[in-house]
Amino acid sequence: MSALVEIRDMCKVYNPGENEVRALDHVDLVINEKEFVAIIGQSGSGKSTLMNMLGCLDVPTSGTYMLHDKDVSHLSDDELSDIRNKEIGFIFQGFNLIANLTALENVELPLIYRGVSRRERIRLSETALEKVGLAKRKTHKPSEMSGGQQQRVAIARAIAQAPPIILADEPTGNLDSGSTKEIMGILKGLHEEGRTVILITHDNEIAAQAKRVIKIMDGRIVHDSANDIENNKEQKQEEPKQKESSVRGEDSNE
């Protein structure tokens, strides 16, 4: 896999001088294409600042951010907006749906800003809603849907034009356990389809469902490794298949 995201020696400093706050302190990070990564940290750890950098919502005080081999560290607001529209699908904790629009219209909205034709954006929006299991709810407004359904609309909005990166900021923070399971299942499915999924969370149980876990504390990455819990689950699922194959092989030899 090739590097999709490459951050080198990144710092983000607020209130420079005597009372400065280093939200990011010389961070190095590489995320490859098609990874499923969880970035975990408590409030004040720097994870939200790092998410803003990854999502091109802000620029660093120093250091570099290479996205698809392009340095986006110091681009203008308009240039960053263009990259966000093309490269990144955002999913937020608060859903950020417009109350007086239907599910279909909410999904359509970013496509309008991107200049997609009406016929094509309806097709893309309906396909995205079908992917998250809400094809029959496309005419419903947010107030007519549960929290889990609203988040699924938000996911449909994020994936409608198939961006290579899905950036999910605490996507299950406002949901019950059943809806949380549904949303994590959708994110896993997107990863299996080949999307790069970057999940920001403070919840260890949510982070444990990613393939790689990065822990941030005091603006620094203090842990970065493959998720042994998730990998062990996959190995356990494979073991019965291997045993079954072995038994069948013994039977055929007899």
CATH number, domain at 46?
3.40.50.300
At residue 227, the pLDDT reads 80
Residue at 253 is within a domain: no
At residue 253, the pLDDT reads 44
Q: How many CB atoms lie within 10 A of CB 9?
A: 11
Residue pair 64/73 in contact by the 8 Å Cβ criterion: yes
Q: How many CB atoms lie within 10 A of CB 69?
A: 9
Residue pair 163/87 in contact by the 8 Å Cβ criterion: yes
Residue at 72 is within a domain: yes
At residue 15, the pLDDT reads 85
At residue 247, the pLDDT reads 44
Q: 53 lies in which domain range?
A: 3-242
Residues in the chain with pLDDT values less than 50: 243, 245-254
At residue 47, the pLDDT reads 93
CA distances to 12, 171, 230, 231, 234 from 244, rounded to whole Å, are: 54, 39, 22, 21, 16
Residue at 201 is within a domain: yes
The number of distinct structural domains making up the chain is 1
At residue 246, the pLDDT reads 43
At residue 231, the pLDDT reads 55
Residue at 169 is within a domain: yes
DSSP class of 163: -
